Amino acid sequence: MLFLLIKELKIAALKKDNFIYFYLDNNLLIFLSILLLE
């Protein structure tokens, strides 16, 4: 799951799309926060 999120971040970074990168980056941070809470 985490690997897929990182892969998506890399794809977004390659696309140079700041909006998509920001959106995915926030999802990753939320996902990591949930992992830390559990």
Q: Is the model's pLDDT at 4 over the cut of 60?
A: yes
- The residue range of the domain holding 32 is 2-37
Tokens of 17: 């799309």
The residue to which tokens 């892969």 are assigned: 7
pLDDT band at 2 (very low <50, low <70, confident <90, very high): low
The residue to which tokens 């985490």 are assigned: 2
More confident: 19 or 38: 38
Residue range 14-36, pLDDT digits in tens: 665 555 555 666 777 777 667 77
Report CA torsion sign: 7, 8, 9, 10: positive
Of 25, 31, 2, 29, nearest to 12 (Cα)? 25
Please give the tally of structural domains in the chain: 1
Tokens of 24: 């995915």
